[in-house]
Structure 1
Amino acid sequence: MAAVAALGLTATLSGCGGSESGDVTLKLVAADYGNSAANNSKKYWAGLVKGFEASHPGIKVDVSVYSWKDVDRKVADMVKKGQAPDIAQIGAYADYAKAGKLYRADEMLSIPTQANFLPHLADAGSVDRTQYGLPFVASTRLLFYNKKFFAQAGLDAPKTWDDIRNDAAVLDQRGVTYPLALPLGPEESQAEAMMWLLSGGGGYIGDVGSYEIDSVENVKTFDWLKTNLVDKGLVGPVAPGKLDRGKAFDAFTRGKVGMLNGHPTLMQEAEKKGVSVGMVPLPGIDGPTKGSMGVADWIMGFKQRGHRVETGKFLDYLFTDKNVIDFADEYDLLPVTDSASAAMESDPEYKPLRKFLAALPNSEFYPVGKTSWARVNESIKENIGNAFAPNESPESVLGKIAQDARAAEEAE
């Protein structure tokens, strides 16, 4: 999800005076969103803990910060050893909820705090209609385009799939390396695929909550991409299944890409390097897609150490507008609460994020409330790029992933 950079560093933060002086010490494990020592997430947590401890005598907080490549495994190991933290800010919650290891949201949070989450995010944090995962930070996706290329070619921002095809053909004729970058390599292909499936009226989950990865709509979407973009050589010199998101983003910031799906961090990086970025909702068959793809990371409270009340007080403090906005602002991400979102939308400082903020309430999220999602996610990343390989077809590849998804769902 979301803006992630692995430093592989661990830092432990504790409040002034040491944890021994408090009646309760909460143990919190969190992910590092920074991409350098200067913006390591431990600085955010240090400031937040200092403020919390000053206003909540008797509660201390020790925070361990790990890189994204390590944090989920660290928490899993702690839980396996019977040493679960009180609070974990990681990428997934459903397995722990299913195993009965987490507090429900309503067991920890005040009513105003729980009611303040954006509804789609609260739903995404639920298992069997009960919320266990608290959204920590979010991001949405829009179609980015190089405004200089479009202006030079006399093109308007695309609104439909046909616009994308026609614009890509013009950009190709003008020598743009990647008229449309289509990164379906294993790095984060589940996101790229989901964006296109949503734009075609499909998605990973059907109306009854089961996987429908090889639905008629999804097959039609990938058939269109293959016929109109891939087979016509409009996606650049690297096959979609070999192109990772990071390489596509880097090419965009170097002025080598006409169009691609992007998030707020890419917008900032591109503009720092002099690329003028246009952003529109992902075009659909007949017009702009009404819902965007959203990504969220999660924070949760574990039962093992029995600190339900103290955990709730800390989380209520964490989700105040200032703390939510401070973190989102530091890492070019989006807030997860109604009030913080409204505050950012009305603040001129955050004008560049308004299109992303506007897309968030109607965004669709990965089905993270299903414990089968981890297996399905891996199957998508491993296989989806093959849909455009010379000896494969979208229907057969989506069918294989759908078979894996059904097997994983039956094992839930």
Structure 2
Amino acid sequence: MSALGLTAVLGGCGSTGSSDVTLRLVAADYGDSPANSSKKYWDALVKDYEAKHPGVKVEVSVYPWTDVDSKVQAMVAAGHAPDMAQVGAYADYAARGKLYSADDVLSIPVQADLVGQLADAGELRHVQYGIPFAASTRVLFYNKTLFAGAGLTPPTTWSELAADAAALKAKGVKYPYALPLGPEEAQAETMQWLLSGGSGYTDDIGTYTIDSPQNVQTFDWLRDDLVGKGLTGPVAPGHLNRADAFAAFADGKVGMLNGHPTLMQQAAKKGVKFGMVPMPGRNGRAKATMGVADWMMAFKQNGHRDQIGDFLDFVYDRKNVLDFSREYDLLPVTSSASDAMTSSAQDKALRPFLDELPLAQLYPVGNTSWAQVSADVKKQIGQAVAPGGSPSAVLGQLQATASTAESAAR
């Protein structure tokens, strides 16, 4: 799975050949069928680039999200790092000194055009190595038909969300609120709730605060006021995966859930009438929502800094960023493309997500320990809301292992 929560099933290669310089890029596939494989996007972009730069050849290998990170890891371990990789994380490679910084490869206008908080999230020790490539935010989706049948309006607070869920349950809705804390993407649902409760995984300087009082209170509320009252459906949250929750929403069986832009198309294909509102907070609109970014990074090994920089400047041209974002219902990572989307009628459906981006907080991807912490959250967080579960104990254990992992990474 990608950080954005998108599934992918395809792999392949882009252009091949020889020339003065050959750049090799490994990229993730955002498509879900041959018709919209990312391979087609990269093939077209590379063809356009090579026509204007006859001295440079670009070979692109596209892999599913289930494979792409391990492919890059294996290449680096074998001493054959690609020139560029577009994957889900960058910090480990940066910490080992294997990457060019953004300053090394991007022109000043392109760097200045990157959305501020996304660029900041690409930093390790105050130097940017991760270049945001695609972004997403989360909003609360609700089934308009089910809400109308129960005489409800979208919630703005936790208490309203619980009351709406109770009313939906009384109407026989299978999943009044779908709470996917299963191993597929539990770290995302968890972060959305931590933020809506006023805290998060870390503080402002990146120190883990997983067992903060606010976070414990958040999961106490989830356990007692949602799960404990039977408002999250027949599958225990710790066993409910995001893909299954999305599929149930598209089948008209879910009243509410947190979702990203790809759910719009999935639900529309099934004829589900849905609305989208900001995630409720404890006593009103949440102060922050969850943002997710996938990353481009440039490896030093082959020494093609100038050619990499020139190619990446082309990749981040406004037209190319817009083409990619529109193809896969993602948010652009540059201000120029974001402004174009905001003012364009064809992108109206994405505006609720664009509106959330200035308020978004991202995973602590600048912490080299985050991959391990995320994996631990996926395994354990469902226990916090299980019958008889102890949020303070589960979050305390996650905090202890996160602190140990972060200390070891320094």
| Category of TM-score, reference length = shorter chain | over 0.9
Matched, 1:299 2:296: yes
Q: How is 1:388-407 mapped onto 2 (pairs within 5 angstroms)?
A: 388-407=385-404
Q: Secondary structure at the match of 1:62?
A: strand
Q: Distance in 1 between matches of 2:305 and 2:62?
A: 22
Contiguous gaps of at least 5 residues in structure 2: none
- Out of 19, 44, 49, the position equivalent to 2:17 is 19
Is this contact kept in 1: 2:223–2:386, CA < 8 A?
Answer: no
Q: Which residue of 1 aligns with 2:58?
A: 61
1:361 to partner: Cα distance: 2.1
- Out of 375, 378, 382, the position equivalent to 2:379 is 382
Is this contact kept in 2: 1:3–1:33, CA < 8 A?
Answer: no
1:3 to partner: Cα distance: 5.1
Contiguous gaps of at least 5 residues in structure 1: none
Q: How is 1:133-144 mapped onto 2 (pairs within 5 angstroms)?
A: 133-144=130-141
1:294 to partner: Cα distance: 0.7
- Out of 13, 27, 35, the position equivalent to 1:30 is 27
Q: Distance in 2 between matches of 1:76 and 1:207?
A: 30
1:129 to partner: Cα distance: 1.0
- Out of 86, 94, 103, the position equivalent to 1:106 is 103
Distance 1:253 1:35, change over 3 A: same
1:301 to partner: Cα distance: 0.5
Deviation readout 1:339-383 (Å, 9 max, x if unpaired): 100101111001010010111122110011111001101110000
Q: Which residue of 1 aligns with 2:8?
A: 6
Q: Distance in 2 between matches of 1:130 and 1:410?
A: 20
Q: Distance in 2 between matches of 1:258 and 1:57?
A: 55
Q: Which residue of 2 aligns with 1:90?
A: 87
Q: Distance in 2 between matches of 1:295 and 1:216?
A: 25
- Give percent identity, aligned residues only: 61
Q: Distance in 2 between matches of 1:213 and 1:290?
A: 18
1:231 to partner: Cα distance: 0.7
Is this contact kept in 2: 1:2–1:333, CA < 8 A?
Answer: no
1:169 to partner: Cα distance: 0.7
Matched, 1:75 2:72: yes
Runs of 4 or more consecutive aligned structure 1 residues displaced over 3 Å after TM superposition: none
- Out of 359, 363, 366, the position equivalent to 2:356 is 359
Q: Distance in 2 between matches of 1:254 and 1:405?
A: 38
- Out of 46, 49, 53, the position equivalent to 1:52 is 49
Q: Which residue of 2 aligns with 1:176?
A: 173
Matched, 1:188 2:189: no
Is this contact kept in 1: 2:191–2:201, CA < 8 A?
Answer: yes
Matched, 1:271 2:271: no
How many residues of Structure 1 are paired with residues of Structure 2 in the alignment? Answer: 407
Between 400-409 and 390-399, report the one with greater CA deviation.
390-399
Q: Distance in 1 between matches of 2:389 and 2:396?
A: 12
1:141 to partner: Cα distance: 0.2
Between 347-356 and 145-154, report the one with greater CA deviation.
145-154
1:404 to partner: Cα distance: 0.9
1:92 to partner: Cα distance: 0.6
Is this contact kept in 1: 2:195–2:287, CA < 8 A?
Answer: no
1:38 to partner: Cα distance: 1.1
1:282 to partner: Cα distance: 0.5
1:208 to partner: Cα distance: 3.3
Q: Which one-letter code corresponds to 1:224 in the other structure?
A: W
Q: Which one-letter code corresponds to 2:197 in the other structure?
A: G
Q: Distance in 2 between matches of 1:39 and 1:224?
A: 41
Q: Secondary structure at the match of 1:19?
A: coil
Deviation readout 1:64-99 (Å, 9 max, x if unpaired): 111111111111111111100001011110011011
Is this contact kept in 2: 1:171–1:258, CA < 8 A?
Answer: yes
Between 364-373 and 382-391, report the one with greater CA deviation.
382-391
Q: Distance in 1 between matches of 2:374 and 2:149?
A: 40
Q: Distance in 2 between matches of 1:3 and 1:375?
A: 18
Q: Which residue of 1 aligns with 2:339?
A: 342
Q: Distance in 1 between matches of 2:240 and 2:11?
A: 31
Is this contact kept in 2: 1:94–1:371, CA < 8 A?
Answer: yes
1:12 to partner: Cα distance: 1.8
Q: Distance in 2 between matches of 1:378 and 1:165?
A: 29
Q: Secondary structure at the match of 1:61?
A: strand
Q: Distance in 2 between matches of 1:140 and 1:190?
A: 14
Instruction: Tell me the TM-score normalized by structure 2.
Output: 0.98
Q: Distance in 2 between matches of 1:4 and 1:121?
A: 19
Matched, 1:214 2:211: yes
Matched, 1:201 2:198: yes
Q: Distance in 2 between matches of 1:289 and 1:338?
A: 24
1:51 to partner: Cα distance: 0.8
Is this contact kept in 2: 1:181–1:259, CA < 8 A?
Answer: yes
- Out of 264, 284, 289, the position equivalent to 2:286 is 289
- Out of 135, 142, 151, the position equivalent to 2:148 is 151
Q: Distance in 2 between matches of 1:403 and 1:391?
A: 22
Q: Distance in 1 between matches of 2:312 and 2:148?
A: 48
Is this contact kept in 1: 2:132–2:293, CA < 8 A?
Answer: yes
Q: Secondary structure at the match of 1:411?
A: helix
